[in-house]
Amino acid sequence: MLDEFKNAFQKPNNAHVQLIFINVVVFLVLAVFKVFLTASGNEDIFNLIHAQFAIPAQFFSFLAKPWTIITYAFVHSLDGINGIFHILFNMLIFYWFGKLFIEYLGSDKLVALYILGAVTGGIFYLLVYNIIPFYASSTPLYGMVGASAAVYAVLVATAVLLPDYTFFLMFLGPIKIKYIALFYIVISFLGSIGDNAGGNVAHLGGALIGFVYIKQLQVGINWGGWITAMLDWFRSIFVSQPKVKVTYRKAEPKVHQTTSSRPSSKASKASQDEIDTILDKISDRGYESLTKDEKEKLFNASKK
Protein backbone atom coordinates (compact mmCIF):
# COMPACT_ATOMS: atom_id res chain seq x y z
CA MET A 1 0.00 0.00 0.00
CA LEU A 2 2.84 2.39 0.86
CA ASP A 3 4.45 1.81 -2.53
CA GLU A 4 1.15 2.59 -4.24
CA PHE A 5 0.88 5.87 -2.34
CA LYS A 6 4.46 6.86 -3.24
CA ASN A 7 3.64 6.57 -6.93
CA ALA A 8 -0.04 7.49 -6.67
CA PHE A 9 -0.20 9.66 -9.79
CA GLN A 10 2.31 7.76 -11.91
CA LYS A 11 0.90 4.24 -11.98
CA PRO A 12 -1.93 3.36 -14.35
CA ASN A 13 -5.26 2.09 -12.99
CA ASN A 14 -4.51 3.61 -9.61
CA ALA A 15 -7.51 5.91 -9.16
CA HIS A 16 -8.49 4.39 -5.81
CA VAL A 17 -5.14 5.41 -4.31
CA GLN A 18 -5.27 8.82 -5.99
CA LEU A 19 -8.70 9.55 -4.51
CA ILE A 20 -7.56 8.40 -1.08
CA PHE A 21 -4.49 10.63 -1.40
CA ILE A 22 -6.68 13.65 -2.20
CA ASN A 23 -9.00 12.93 0.74
CA VAL A 24 -6.11 12.57 3.18
CA VAL A 25 -4.34 15.72 1.97
CA VAL A 26 -7.55 17.78 2.25
CA PHE A 27 -8.13 16.37 5.74
CA LEU A 28 -4.61 17.26 6.92
CA VAL A 29 -4.67 20.76 5.41
CA LEU A 30 -8.02 21.58 7.03
CA ALA A 31 -6.83 20.06 10.33
CA VAL A 32 -3.80 22.38 10.33
CA PHE A 33 -6.04 25.37 9.60
CA LYS A 34 -8.38 24.38 12.41
CA VAL A 35 -5.63 24.04 15.00
CA PHE A 36 -3.96 27.35 14.21
CA LEU A 37 -7.13 29.38 13.72
CA THR A 38 -8.79 27.97 16.83
CA ALA A 39 -5.66 28.50 18.94
CA SER A 40 -5.47 32.11 17.75
CA GLY A 41 -9.11 32.76 18.62
CA ASN A 42 -10.30 32.72 15.00
CA GLU A 43 -12.44 29.60 15.03
CA ASP A 44 -15.20 31.46 13.19
CA ILE A 45 -12.87 31.94 10.23
CA PHE A 46 -12.21 28.21 10.11
CA ASN A 47 -15.93 27.45 10.27
CA LEU A 48 -16.44 29.80 7.34
CA ILE A 49 -13.72 28.02 5.33
CA HIS A 50 -15.08 24.59 6.20
CA ALA A 51 -18.60 25.66 5.21
CA GLN A 52 -17.41 26.30 1.67
CA PHE A 53 -16.89 22.53 1.26
CA ALA A 54 -19.84 21.14 3.24
CA ILE A 55 -23.17 20.63 1.48
CA PRO A 56 -25.89 22.60 3.33
CA ALA A 57 -29.21 20.98 4.17
CA GLN A 58 -31.35 23.93 3.10
CA PHE A 59 -32.03 23.96 -0.63
CA PHE A 60 -31.68 27.71 -1.08
CA SER A 61 -28.39 27.70 0.83
CA PHE A 62 -27.20 24.96 -1.53
CA LEU A 63 -28.11 27.07 -4.57
CA ALA A 64 -25.64 29.67 -3.31
CA LYS A 65 -22.91 26.98 -3.13
CA PRO A 66 -23.71 24.39 -5.83
CA TRP A 67 -20.11 23.12 -5.98
CA THR A 68 -20.61 21.52 -2.56
CA ILE A 69 -22.50 18.63 -4.24
CA ILE A 70 -18.97 17.39 -5.13
CA THR A 71 -16.61 18.98 -2.61
CA TYR A 72 -18.34 17.54 0.46
CA ALA A 73 -17.22 14.07 -0.66
CA PHE A 74 -13.55 15.04 -0.27
CA VAL A 75 -13.86 16.55 3.21
CA HIS A 76 -14.28 14.73 6.50
CA SER A 77 -15.27 15.63 10.03
CA LEU A 78 -12.51 17.16 12.15
CA ASP A 79 -14.24 16.40 15.43
CA GLY A 80 -11.32 14.86 17.37
CA ILE A 81 -10.97 11.09 17.42
CA ASN A 82 -14.36 10.64 15.75
CA GLY A 83 -13.11 12.59 12.75
CA ILE A 84 -9.99 10.41 12.50
CA PHE A 85 -12.04 7.21 12.60
CA HIS A 86 -14.45 8.73 10.07
CA ILE A 87 -11.82 9.15 7.38
CA LEU A 88 -9.88 6.03 8.41
CA PHE A 89 -12.75 3.59 7.94
CA ASN A 90 -14.00 5.34 4.82
CA MET A 91 -10.61 5.12 3.14
CA LEU A 92 -9.91 1.53 4.23
CA ILE A 93 -13.22 0.29 2.82
CA PHE A 94 -12.69 2.34 -0.32
CA TYR A 95 -9.19 0.94 -0.78
CA TRP A 96 -10.29 -2.71 -0.52
CA PHE A 97 -13.36 -2.44 -2.69
CA GLY A 98 -11.92 0.17 -5.06
CA LYS A 99 -8.89 -2.00 -5.78
CA LEU A 100 -11.16 -4.93 -6.66
CA PHE A 101 -13.45 -2.71 -8.76
CA ILE A 102 -10.52 -1.40 -10.81
CA GLU A 103 -9.25 -4.90 -11.57
CA TYR A 104 -12.45 -5.57 -13.50
CA LEU A 105 -13.66 -2.18 -14.73
CA GLY A 106 -10.68 0.19 -14.62
CA SER A 107 -9.90 3.56 -13.10
CA ASP A 108 -12.11 5.71 -15.31
CA LYS A 109 -15.27 3.95 -14.21
CA LEU A 110 -14.20 4.08 -10.55
CA VAL A 111 -13.77 7.87 -10.65
CA ALA A 112 -17.08 8.24 -12.48
CA LEU A 113 -18.88 6.09 -9.92
CA TYR A 114 -17.26 7.95 -7.00
CA ILE A 115 -18.64 11.23 -8.37
CA LEU A 116 -22.03 9.69 -9.16
CA GLY A 117 -22.20 8.33 -5.60
CA ALA A 118 -21.36 11.74 -4.16
CA VAL A 119 -23.94 13.54 -6.31
CA THR A 120 -26.68 10.99 -5.61
CA GLY A 121 -25.95 11.00 -1.88
CA GLY A 122 -26.07 14.78 -1.89
CA ILE A 123 -29.41 14.79 -3.73
CA PHE A 124 -30.93 12.33 -1.24
CA TYR A 125 -29.65 14.51 1.60
CA LEU A 126 -31.21 17.65 0.13
CA LEU A 127 -34.50 15.94 -0.63
CA VAL A 128 -35.16 14.54 2.84
CA TYR A 129 -34.30 17.80 4.61
CA ASN A 130 -36.49 19.87 2.29
CA ILE A 131 -39.45 17.53 1.78
CA ILE A 132 -39.85 15.18 4.76
CA PRO A 133 -41.02 16.96 7.96
CA PHE A 134 -39.21 14.53 10.28
CA TYR A 135 -35.85 15.65 8.88
CA ALA A 136 -36.76 19.27 8.24
CA SER A 137 -37.47 19.76 11.95
CA SER A 138 -33.83 19.08 12.83
CA THR A 139 -31.79 20.68 10.06
CA PRO A 140 -28.00 20.36 10.66
CA LEU A 141 -26.28 23.66 11.31
CA TYR A 142 -23.06 22.99 9.39
CA GLY A 143 -24.30 20.71 6.62
CA MET A 144 -22.74 17.39 5.65
CA VAL A 145 -19.21 16.27 4.83
CA GLY A 146 -17.67 12.89 4.15
CA ALA A 147 -16.94 10.45 1.33
CA SER A 148 -19.31 7.81 2.70
CA ALA A 149 -21.96 8.12 -0.03
CA ALA A 150 -19.29 7.76 -2.73
CA VAL A 151 -17.70 4.86 -0.84
CA TYR A 152 -21.05 3.10 -0.51
CA ALA A 153 -21.56 3.45 -4.25
CA VAL A 154 -18.27 1.65 -4.93
CA LEU A 155 -18.89 -0.92 -2.19
CA VAL A 156 -22.34 -1.90 -3.49
CA ALA A 157 -21.29 -1.76 -7.14
CA THR A 158 -18.43 -4.17 -6.47
CA ALA A 159 -20.72 -6.50 -4.52
CA VAL A 160 -23.25 -6.50 -7.37
CA LEU A 161 -20.52 -7.13 -9.92
CA LEU A 162 -18.80 -9.89 -7.92
CA PRO A 163 -21.30 -11.02 -5.26
CA ASP A 164 -19.50 -14.25 -4.34
CA TYR A 165 -16.01 -12.77 -4.16
CA THR A 166 -14.62 -13.49 -0.70
CA PHE A 167 -12.67 -11.27 1.69
CA PHE A 168 -10.85 -12.81 4.63
CA LEU A 169 -11.61 -10.60 7.63
CA MET A 170 -9.72 -10.65 10.88
CA PHE A 171 -11.58 -12.57 13.62
CA LEU A 172 -14.39 -13.39 11.17
CA GLY A 173 -12.71 -15.41 8.46
CA PRO A 174 -13.94 -15.67 4.85
CA ILE A 175 -17.04 -13.58 4.04
CA LYS A 176 -18.60 -12.97 0.64
CA ILE A 177 -18.63 -9.28 -0.18
CA LYS A 178 -22.37 -9.28 -0.90
CA TYR A 179 -22.93 -9.88 2.83
CA ILE A 180 -20.49 -7.11 3.75
CA ALA A 181 -22.41 -4.70 1.51
CA LEU A 182 -25.73 -5.87 2.95
CA PHE A 183 -24.45 -5.30 6.49
CA TYR A 184 -23.49 -1.69 5.73
CA ILE A 185 -26.81 -1.01 4.02
CA VAL A 186 -28.77 -2.33 7.02
CA ILE A 187 -26.67 -0.24 9.44
CA SER A 188 -27.31 2.91 7.39
CA PHE A 189 -31.02 2.16 7.07
CA LEU A 190 -31.35 1.82 10.85
CA GLY A 191 -29.31 4.99 11.33
CA SER A 192 -31.50 7.03 8.99
CA ILE A 193 -33.54 8.15 12.01
CA GLY A 194 -30.59 8.55 14.38
CA ASP A 195 -28.13 11.31 15.25
CA ASN A 196 -26.54 11.20 11.80
CA ALA A 197 -29.84 10.74 9.97
CA GLY A 198 -28.95 12.85 6.93
CA GLY A 199 -25.57 11.19 6.52
CA ASN A 200 -27.12 7.72 6.59
CA VAL A 201 -29.73 8.74 4.04
CA ALA A 202 -26.86 9.90 1.80
CA HIS A 203 -25.23 6.48 2.29
CA LEU A 204 -28.38 4.81 0.99
CA GLY A 205 -28.41 7.13 -2.01
CA GLY A 206 -24.83 6.16 -2.80
CA ALA A 207 -25.66 2.47 -2.39
CA LEU A 208 -28.61 2.81 -4.77
CA ILE A 209 -26.59 4.42 -7.54
CA GLY A 210 -23.89 1.77 -7.13
CA PHE A 211 -26.48 -0.95 -7.71
CA VAL A 212 -28.09 0.83 -10.68
CA TYR A 213 -24.72 1.69 -12.22
CA ILE A 214 -23.60 -1.94 -12.47
CA LYS A 215 -26.99 -3.21 -13.62
CA GLN A 216 -27.02 -0.61 -16.41
CA LEU A 217 -23.41 -1.35 -17.31
CA GLN A 218 -24.29 -5.02 -17.69
CA VAL A 219 -26.80 -4.12 -20.41
CA GLY A 220 -24.36 -1.82 -22.18
CA ILE A 221 -25.36 1.56 -20.70
CA ASN A 222 -22.60 3.54 -18.97
CA TRP A 223 -24.18 6.14 -16.69
CA GLY A 224 -20.78 7.59 -15.90
CA GLY A 225 -19.64 8.05 -19.49
CA TRP A 226 -20.33 11.79 -19.44
CA ILE A 227 -18.14 12.18 -16.34
CA THR A 228 -15.26 10.33 -17.99
CA ALA A 229 -15.60 12.46 -21.14
CA MET A 230 -15.69 15.66 -19.09
CA LEU A 231 -12.60 14.69 -17.08
CA ASP A 232 -10.74 13.70 -20.25
CA TRP A 233 -11.54 17.10 -21.73
CA PHE A 234 -10.40 18.81 -18.54
CA ARG A 235 -7.12 16.87 -18.55
CA SER A 236 -6.51 17.76 -22.18
CA ILE A 237 -6.43 21.45 -21.24
CA PHE A 238 -3.44 20.96 -18.94
CA VAL A 239 -1.70 17.94 -20.46
CA SER A 240 -0.52 18.13 -24.04
CA GLN A 241 -1.33 14.96 -25.91
CA PRO A 242 1.33 13.60 -28.27
CA LYS A 243 0.42 14.14 -31.87
CA VAL A 244 0.16 10.82 -33.60
CA LYS A 245 0.06 10.73 -37.35
CA VAL A 246 -0.73 7.54 -39.15
CA THR A 247 -0.09 7.40 -42.86
CA TYR A 248 -1.28 4.75 -45.23
CA ARG A 249 0.64 3.50 -48.22
CA LYS A 250 -1.04 3.39 -51.56
CA ALA A 251 -2.16 -0.02 -52.63
CA GLU A 252 0.60 -1.77 -54.55
CA PRO A 253 -0.10 -3.44 -57.88
CA LYS A 254 -1.48 -6.90 -57.46
CA VAL A 255 0.93 -9.68 -58.22
CA HIS A 256 0.47 -13.38 -58.41
CA GLN A 257 0.82 -14.85 -54.91
CA THR A 258 1.61 -18.36 -54.05
CA THR A 259 -0.39 -20.26 -51.48
CA SER A 260 2.37 -19.73 -48.89
CA SER A 261 2.08 -15.92 -49.14
CA ARG A 262 -1.65 -15.70 -48.37
CA PRO A 263 -1.38 -15.89 -44.56
CA SER A 264 0.79 -12.76 -44.57
CA SER A 265 -1.94 -10.92 -46.50
CA LYS A 266 -4.49 -11.88 -43.86
CA ALA A 267 -2.12 -10.81 -41.12
CA SER A 268 -1.72 -7.42 -42.82
CA LYS A 269 -5.47 -7.00 -42.97
CA ALA A 270 -5.84 -7.97 -39.33
CA SER A 271 -3.15 -5.45 -38.43
CA GLN A 272 -5.06 -2.71 -40.24
CA ASP A 273 -8.23 -3.63 -38.34
CA GLU A 274 -6.31 -3.31 -35.09
CA ILE A 275 -5.06 0.14 -36.08
CA ASP A 276 -8.61 1.26 -36.89
CA THR A 277 -9.78 0.00 -33.49
CA ILE A 278 -6.95 1.84 -31.75
CA LEU A 279 -7.79 5.08 -33.59
CA ASP A 280 -11.43 4.75 -32.56
CA LYS A 281 -10.30 4.30 -28.95
CA ILE A 282 -8.22 7.49 -29.15
CA SER A 283 -11.22 9.35 -30.51
CA ASP A 284 -13.44 8.14 -27.66
CA ARG A 285 -11.07 8.10 -24.69
CA GLY A 286 -7.88 9.94 -25.62
CA TYR A 287 -4.33 8.76 -26.28
CA GLU A 288 -3.58 8.07 -22.60
CA SER A 289 -6.25 5.36 -22.52
CA LEU A 290 -4.14 3.13 -24.78
CA THR A 291 -2.17 0.24 -23.38
CA LYS A 292 1.58 0.01 -23.89
CA ASP A 293 1.07 -2.64 -26.58
CA GLU A 294 -1.49 -0.48 -28.43
CA LYS A 295 0.82 2.55 -28.34
CA GLU A 296 3.65 0.45 -29.76
CA LYS A 297 1.46 -0.85 -32.59
CA LEU A 298 0.33 2.68 -33.41
CA PHE A 299 3.91 3.95 -33.38
CA ASN A 300 5.06 1.21 -35.72
CA ALA A 301 2.17 1.92 -38.07
CA SER A 302 3.06 5.62 -38.19
CA LYS A 303 6.53 4.78 -39.52
CA LYS A 304 5.19 2.95 -42.55
Q: What share of the chain is helix, strand, coil (3-state, %, to 5)?
A: 70, 5, 25
**DSSP codes of every residue in 246-260:** ---PPPPPP----GG
- For the cut 90, the answer to whether the pLDDT of residue 99 exceeds it is yes
Q: pLDDT tens digits, residue range 134-168?
A: 998 888 878 999 999 999 999 999 999 999 999 98
Q: pLDDT tens digits, residue range 51-83?
A: 999 999 999 999 999 999 999 999 999 988 888
Q: How many CB atoms lie within 10 A of CB 171?
A: 4
Higher pLDDT, 247 or 234: 234
State the Cα angle at 250 between 245 and 251, rounded to 5°: 135
Per-residue confidence (pLDDT) for residue 12, from 0 to 100: 72
- For the cut 60, the answer to whether the pLDDT of residue 257 exceeds it is no
- For the cut 70, the answer to whether the pLDDT of residue 201 exceeds it is yes
**DSSP codes of every residue in 125-181:** HHHHHHH-HHHHTT--SS-B--SHHHHHHHHHHHHHHSTT-EEEETTTEEEEHHHHH
Asked whether the beta carbons of 150 and 73 are under 8 A apart, the reply is: yes
111-125, 161-175, 239-253: least confidently modelled range: 239-253
How high does pLDDT run on average in the chain?
85
Domains in the chain with CATH codes? 2-228 (1.20.1540.10), 243-302 (no CATH)
Asked whether the beta carbons of 294 and 281 are under 8 A apart, the reply is: yes
Per-residue confidence (pLDDT) for residue 251, from 0 to 100: 53
- For the cut 80, the answer to whether the pLDDT of residue 249 exceeds it is no
Q: What CA–CA distance (Å, rounded) separates 84 from 304?
A: 58
End-to-end CA distance of the chain: 43
Q: pTM higher than 0.85 for the full model? A: no
Phi, psi at 247, each rounded to 5°: -110, 150
Closest by CA position to 31, among listed 93, 88, 75: 75
Per-residue confidence (pLDDT) for residue 261, from 0 to 100: 42
Q: What is the DSSP letter of 243?
A: P
Per-residue confidence (pLDDT) for residue 163, from 0 to 100: 95
